[in-house]
Amino acid sequence: RCSTEPKLDRLPDVLRPPSHHSLAGLPARPTCKMSSARATSMAWLPRDLRLGLGRLGSLFLGILGLAAMPSTMARSMANESESAYDHFWSGPGAVGSSSFDTANVLITTALVIVLATTLGALSSWKHRAVEHAIERSFEAVGRFVGSRPIPVATISFLVFLALSSGMPLQTSEADPAKLWVPKGAIALDHQLYTAETWPSSSQGTFIVAMPKDGEPGPNLLTPAKLASMLALHNRLMAIEVDGDEVVQNSKDIANYTTDFGGKWTYSGGGLTRAKCSKWGTACAMQSVLAIFGYDAVNIGDQAAVLERINVWDAALRETIVPGLNVYKSFEVEDVLGGIGRDASGKVVSAQLFMWTFFLTRDEQEVVVTSNGRSERAQTDPINDLWEAEALCLVGITDKHPVDSSRACEDSSGLLRYSGLFGRSFGDEFGAAVKNDVSLIGMAYALIVVYLLACLGKQDVVHSMFAMSVAVLVGVGLAFTGASGFGGYVGIKTNPLNNNIPFLILGLGVDDAFVLVAELTRHMAERKDATVPELIALTARTGGSSILITSVTDALAFLVGASTALPALSGFCLYGGVAVLLCLILQLVWVLPLLALNVQRARNNRYDCLCCFTSSVSPHEVEEPQGCCCCTCVPACSKPTDSIMRKVMTKVGGITIKTTPGKVGTLIFWAGIFGVGLAGAFQIKKDFKVEWFFPEGSYVQSFIDVNDEYFSTGTRFSIYTNELDIFTNQDEMDTLTSYLKQKDFVRSSSVSNWWESFRPDPAAAAATTREQFYQGLWEWAKSSQYKSSLLWADAKCNSEDTEVSCDPALGVSHTRITATLNRLGSGVERFETMSVMRADMNDIFDEQSGMKIFPFAQDFLYWEENGIIDTELVRNLVIAGGIVFIILCTLIPRPRIAVIVSLAICTSVLELVGFVHWWGVSINGTTTIYLLICLGLAVDYSAHIGHIFNLSPGVAPDRALEAMTRIGPSVFHALFSTILAVLVLSSSRSYVFEVFFKVLCLVTLIAGFKGLWLLPVVLSLLGGNSPAEPSDVKKPTSDANNVRDGGSIDNGTVMSVVQVA
């Protein structure tokens, strides 16, 4: 319901016109009254609080809408179709290219710059109104919570506790394929196909045998060494796994009797089931012992050993070796390393043995028990248990991997073994992470101790020990609240979320130092102010400062959630929500408790024991008595913030006030920028799973030996899916030649059913479909490759070769297996995978990518290397644009906003360059930490820029004021992070090694740039500012609030009325 009558009665007397006729020429402004229902629902809120909350809400929603525009506009500019949008974000990697997606990144950059410039110009046009609106909004919130601290804190705690109750509803995602494979990648379709069509896949377990003492070198081709290896082989074949126990443990999930029930051994026989993959009717295995038929009688003396080896070497692959009566399924180079040959080319020695077991892998969700702990996991439990026993027997580990209380029985004999097992990643990487978890705990503890020691004064009344605990509780509520929110809306968690507490702890501690510093300043300047007035002033000056950092961090994370990498997307969602909740808790949890803390301090009560009153009175906040908490420590007579302020003043007096100081600062940071820029242009993208194995791991030993002596890479399969083999016979011949010619494929490893079926491409072929498939069926029934073909008539796939079926219906699916040579870098692996896909599509003139394709489980992890550089740059560009937009809005002085934004952007650019010089490449792990560091860089610089904007005077004085006023708080946040990071320097796992390097660099580069370079640049380019009538030192009575609003004109009458 609206009326046009001007509400002049609400104006103070000093501002009311002599008569209403003086405003008769002004257009009447309509004023609306809320409906009675709405008015009743909001009547309990004070009017100034409703106004403040409305302003803050509108500001945040407007910024969020503008921040989302770059990605939305880029989507429509790329293409209106959904598939094009998927390609725009997933990058060219989805279609087999490792090139940088420059065009789309430039489009996004241009959109961000246009939006930021437009918003900055608008904010600059109305910068007074923007600044005053933000300050008054926070002041209204502060006055409200300062007047009702106990109800607000209690309600806030209960609300966030209720929000945290959603944590049990969370579901976690631990499957790397669902975390690190880009959305829309064709490898996901290939994985789904193989899981549905070939559910029982093969897993290679690799063991390398070396001399018992020392490095490879001595000849291992001796009867004694072979006999020792044969004895171990027999022990391995005797390993028996109780599948019935697995079935019993997992009965609440499903009945796995058919899948895992009974007793299992590698080769089966008797009452046990076989776990090995089959080559025909025999168990698949590659070992030098196969040359001797796994029989000690065939080993003989040294001459017999060498003779048998050379007879095998001379025979054709996939034939019965003449004189040995064994089937040749591999070359000697596949099982012998460091081969020595005589002048005639015969084998005379070998330094290493390579042993490969091929186990069938049937992954199911089961209950896995390890060291007394049971948990659900997606795995093949029979494989895991067999490999655990094998690790013990070969002497790789001293304690049983499943039961650490059980010592291993070493059966290695005369040889020393290393290897790569299916369970190696979980065992070795998991152990390294568990060891580093204690380091993370120490890092958290150091931050907490630093907060407890430095937040308040060295005084029994003003120590703020209890407030430090309250801040930590707020940080915990922010994390649990974000987790609960994710649980309610169904956002899955992933291992990256373990980094969020570190992020929120750093942000919460930073905000707490800022609020406490502002409160302390106002308490010293306004001794007559009431508690609500002090909290209102603290929120007014400190709230806008923490708003800048929190909103920029939150929106940067939330917009970054549009990334194509699911793990990164989930992390950004949780991180953005947690940052927003941390900001809200600063206002509705920390501020009310600060009000209670001021009341306690004014009553001269002890901090830790508020029921008792100090005998010394008064305890002035600016004159601490030299005591910590409740224990007298005379040595602590000088407050740390006073010392820091003096240090900042002296340093600023040199760097800001003197010409040599300015010149030296600019030269030093120009050198840092040059070095960082050079590194940024040289940084490479790379990711390899083996990086996650810690130094000293047996897996690292195996990888080193494999690279030097065997160069064995990933084993993969080439699948045909509903491809008519009869009409594509020439293409199958071309594929066979292709696998023999390519350098990245080990020609000796190719297991090709087509080549075995048709060894001579020039031979006459069947002329009709029925003849062709009937001949293929007759050959396959007695071939070792029978399991490599799946017929259209399901009866033909039966183990019973005498079954009646119709092979004329054709073959639906086939597979050819081979092994890649060892590929050095992650980019090389991605490019090799992409080349194979493209070449096979060209050979068969098939572009869907699903009729014929190569696939291995490792390919899922290689996809990341195709798009990670584009994803990183895109996220940094958008996040940097968000930072610029927020800074232009909340620091509505374009000159200052641009300087602060450039400081943040150059910090991130230098960080990228310096991580290159420190040996870090671009990958998913690095991307996560760089995004976290962008948030930290904002914290270190935005506070300085904000206080500079508020400070009056000439530019050098304003810069020095910013450095001395907010600098100590920034230094506390910086130094506490450095302490935590240094603890991680002894980390053994790749994840925490990168975490240490990146966090260490960002604190040194971005932190000291904010405290050192930024004030110098602002003193030169920031400009002067006259004293404002809205200086926060003035009283905050109603009349003063009106004066803060400036002159009254027909565009601001109602704003003045509302404030009054």
Cβ–Cβ < 8 Å for 400, 392: yes
Query: Which pLDDT value is given to residue 379?
Result: 87
Query: Which pLDDT value is given to residue 931?
Result: 77
Provide CB contacts within 8 A for 110, sequence distance 6+.
none
Q: Residue 378: how many CB atoms within 10 A of its CB?
A: 11
Report in angstroms the alpha-carbon separations of 681 from 676, 912, 916: 9, 9, 9
Provide CB contacts within 8 A for 486, sequence distance 6+.
166, 170, 492, 493, 573, 574, 577
Which has more pLDDT, 503 or 738? 738
Report pLDDT digits (tens) over 98-146: 445 566 566 666 766 676 666 666 655 555 666 677 788 888 888 999 9
Query: Which pLDDT value is given to residue 1051?
Result: 35
Query: Which pLDDT value is given to residue 149?
Result: 92
Judged against a pLDDT cut of 50, whether residue 95 lies above it is answered with no
Judged against a pLDDT cut of 90, whether residue 11 lies above it is answered with no
Provide CB contacts within 8 A for 361, sequence distance 6+.
200, 201, 202, 203, 380, 383, 422
Answer whether the bond into residue 618 is a cis peptide, omega within 30°: yes
Work out whether strand 263-265 and strand 241-242 pair parallel, antiparallel, or are unpaired.
antiparallel
pTM: 0.72
Q: Which of 161-170, 311-320, 369-378, 839-848 bottoms out in mean pLDDT, i.e. has the lowest? A: 369-378
Cβ–Cβ < 8 Å for 524, 621: yes
Provide CB contacts within 8 A for 118, sequence distance 6+.
none
- For the chain, first and last CA: distance in Å? 23
Query: Which pLDDT value is given to residue 103?
Result: 62
Report in angstroms the alpha-carbon separations of 410 from 232, 264, 748, 900: 10, 22, 33, 63
Question: Which residue matches tokens 């995978």?
Answer: 833
Query: Which pLDDT value is given to residue 697?
Result: 84
Report pLDDT digits (tens) over 901-921: 889 889 989 999 999 999 898
Report pLDDT digits (tens) over 930-968: 877 877 788 788 888 888 988 888 999 999 998 888 888
Judged against a pLDDT cut of 60, whether residue 15 lies above it is answered with no
pLDDT band, residue 62 (cuts 50/70/90): low
Judged against a pLDDT cut of 70, whether residue 40 lies above it is answered with no
Q: Between the CA atoms of 135, 136, 142 and 148, what dihedral angle is there, to the nearest 10 degrees?
A: -170
pLDDT band, residue 224 (cuts 50/70/90): very high
CA atoms within 13 A on the CB side of 29: 14
Residues 349, 355, 361, CA angle at the centre, nearest 5°? Answer: 165
Among 93-97, 180-184, 325-329, top mean pLDDT goes to 325-329
Report pLDDT digits (tens) over 506-556: 888 888 888 888 888 888 888 888 999 999 999 888 887 788 778 877 877
946 membership: H or E segment, kind and range: helix 924-950
Mean pLDDT, rounded, of the chain = 79
Judged against a pLDDT cut of 60, whether residue 191 lies above it is answered with yes
Provide CB contacts within 8 A for 80, sequence distance 6+.
none
Query: Which pLDDT value is given to residue 28?
Result: 43
Closest CA to 569 of 502, 492, 507, 499: 492
As a three-state string, the secondary structure of 539-587 is HHHHHHHHHHHHHHHHHHHHHHCCCCCHHHHHHHHHHHHHHHHHHHHHH
Report pLDDT digits (tens) over 721-759: 999 999 999 999 999 999 999 999 988 888 899 999 988
Query: Which pLDDT value is given to residue 888?
Result: 77
Query: Which pLDDT value is given to residue 820?
Result: 92
Tokens, residue 598: 């001021």
pLDDT, average across residues 811-835? 90
Query: Which pLDDT value is given to residue 109?
Result: 64
- DSSP-derived letter for residue 92 is G
pLDDT, average across residues 881-900? 80
pLDDT band, residue 23 (cuts 50/70/90): very low
pLDDT, average across residues 1018-1043? 57
